[in-house]
Amino acid sequence: MTAQTIFRTLLDRPNIISSKYQAKQLHAQILKLEPASPTHLSRLISIYSNFNLLHDSLLLFNTLHSPPVLAYKSIIRCYVANGLLVQSVALFLQMRASGKQPDHHVFPSLLKSCALLSDLKLGESIHGCIIRLGMDFDLYTCNALMNMYGKLQKVIEPALDQNGSLNQARYILPKTNANNTILNQCYRKRNCSYMAEVDRRGSMMDSVKKVFEMMLERDVVSWNTVIAGNAENGKYEEALMLVREMGNDNLKPDSFTLSSVLPIFTEYVDLHKGKEIHAYVIRHGFDNDVFIGSSLVGMYAKCARVEDALQVFNILPQRDSISWNSIIAGCVQNGLFDEGLRFFHQMLKAKVKPVPVSFSSIMPACANLMALHLGKQLHGFIIRGGYDDNIFVSSSLVDMYAKCGYIKVARWIFDRMDVHDMVSWTAIIMGYALHGQACHAISLFEQMEMQGVRPNYVAFVAVLTACSHAGMMNAAWRYFNSMTQNYGIVPGLEHYACMADLLGRAGKLDEAFELISSMHKPAGSIWLSLLSACRVHKNVDLAEKVANKIFEVDPENNGAYILLSNIYAAAQRWKDVAKLQYLMRNKGIKKTPAFSWIEVKNKTPVFVSGDKSHP
């Protein structure tokens, strides 16, 4: 076999090339033997793009007078792999302007760009082009279409304006009549029949469903895409129904299917179903899959089964950043702040580089432990890693500094943020509320509304907390009533607790009692707040009624017994004090000692009343 034959075989079967070095050696040998044809150069570009060698690919591409479709496809794919999304769109438009007909290999990469750019209008334009070219029945193209619409369904505020990507393409492409014509055509493509229905219904999942139903052939990727799209967008019943239908289609769920389904049971807090999936994972040998393991860790942690989450994590053969972040977030969300910090340190020792979600997961641990020195260390780590412009990381820093008493630093970080989302607004509003600066908190809440950010459940907790601490009764009632009237948010335990606390502070104990009684199932904690107000205002009769309410829902609430005993003592009703103490002894109820965290020399020891263990 001659050298030329060998090289042609390698070009025809590029998968044989297993390294960048081999790819460059092949290129060099071909150049030695003969002038490379456009076909050979296109195949070399394809090989280079397989190894993500964008610079080498472009050098070859620019030597082609009229690049074939294969060359365009390879460069588009390489652009997307390198995050150059607008350039990938611009090159596609250039290909269309040159008269080249894209094949089914071009569109999956292009549709991925649309999803990453969060550009629905561009995606619809590409979809229109796919339909006109008769490629809307191609398996891989349909999978990419469903993935794009599923991703775009979750987009609330696109990073670009509606015409953002195409407008950027105008600046990248040469200003020729052909290119302008292609761009204008792309804007008009969105008028196809079922794209208009997407606009009417406002739901990308309708498009996912239609694409899926029209497919003549479906593989596991097709099913996984539509299942994941439904699951990620809160359509849990549809996702579970599709999993069952997938089995009827003689296809078995794979690791991706299972990792898409597990969060559903987390959302429903359905531990039983989650364990069934776990059993399926073990039976079918998926328990070594790090992606599945991470999903199981997250599922157990969100169902408050941290021990099970730890067990799954400890037997994982490999741990990536997702699995580490899952266990860190799980510990912190369940109040195991020290454990969360321990796992974060272990992750660093394991040479796993923290990502933005790592910091936003661990920062609440520093905030709740008041561990300012650790928070500052993490802040330095964030700056060195270049993550300080990440909105989630910045929001967690605002929350941490505010809770550690550094409200000015929290405000400085907030003001430096380019974009404010609901989390960052809520963090700074709650920070001012906890510092007793109600005017600042309310002013920021109103600024948030003026900027079109719709307050959520937690934002109202923050502003009501501010009103409660400042005794602003009228403002509190206005915000409380606006929840249902203006925003359709049903007040929860936290909102009622803020209002009850405010009424209690103002001495309006009967109003507070009526408000709590109007709740569906008031918890013992909210009654306890009113009982504390009864002690302050020396209302013994109401205190007895409130205590009975607490004992109905929580018969062994030691805080209620202690408070009621103190109320009796203040009223000099010593017989009632003795009866209560006798009842506590019979039930084995003891007072839980209070404790405090105080930061001393970069350490945060716990101090208990009467503690002599600390120097």
545 or 10: whose pLDDT is higher? 545
pLDDT in tens, 333-367: 999 999 999 999 999 999 999 999 999 999 999 99
pLDDT value, residue 122: 87
pLDDT in tens, 569-597: 999 999 989 988 888 888 777 766 665 65
| % pLDDT > 70, the chain | 82
Contacts of 75 (CB under 8 A, 6+ apart): 45, 49, 57, 58, 61, 91
What is the pLDDT confidence band of residue 428, given thresholds at 50, 70 and 90?
A: very high
437 or 599: whose pLDDT is higher? 437
User: Do 96 and 128 contact (CB within 8 A), yes or no?
Assistant: no
d(CA 78, CA 53): 8
Q: Kindly state the DSSP code that residue 189 receives in the 8-state scheme.
A: G
Mean pLDDT of 58-71: 88
d(CA 130, CA 464): 52
User: Do 71 and 40 contact (CB within 8 A), yes or no?
Assistant: no
Return left, alpha or beta for 601; rule: phi > 0 is left, psi -120 to 50 is alpha, else beta: left
Ranges 16-20, 440-444, 537-541: which has the least confidence: 16-20
Instruction: For residue 81, give the nearest of 41, 108, 119, 120 by alpha carbon.
Output: 108
pLDDT value, residue 160: 34
| % pLDDT > 90, the chain | 38
What is the pLDDT confidence band of residue 248, given thresholds at 50, 70 and 90?
A: confident
Answer yes or no: is pLDDT of 515 > 80: yes
pLDDT value, residue 395: 95
Return left, alpha or beta for 602; rule: phi > 0 is left, psi -120 to 50 is alpha, else beta: left
Mean pLDDT of 24-39: 68
pLDDT value, residue 602: 59
Count of CB atoms within 10 A of residue 22's CB? 14
d(CA 397, CA 268): 30
Q: Positive or negative CA dihedral for 32, 37, 41, 44?
A: negative
Answer yes or no: is pLDDT of 331 > 90: yes
pLDDT value, residue 168: 45
pLDDT in tens, 476-508: 999 999 999 999 999 999 999 999 999 999 999
Answer yes or no: is pLDDT of 86 > 60: yes
Angle at which helices 38-50 and 3-12 pack, to 10 degrees? 60
**Residue 259: Cβ-neighbour burial (10 angstroms; 0-12, 13-18, 19+):** buried
pTM listed for this prediction: 0.66
Secondary element (H or E) of residue 306: helix 306-314
pLDDT in tens, 148-207: 887 776 653 333 333 344 444 443 444 444 444 544 444 444 334 334 333 433 456 677
- Map out the domains of the chain with their CATH numbers: 430-589 (1.25.40.10)
DSSP H stretches of helix in 521-600: 524-536, 540-553, 558-570, 574-587
Instruction: For residue 186, give the nearest of 104, 103, 96, 109 by alpha carbon.
Output: 96
Mean pLDDT of 512-522: 91
Contacts of 584 (CB under 8 A, 6+ apart): 558, 561, 590
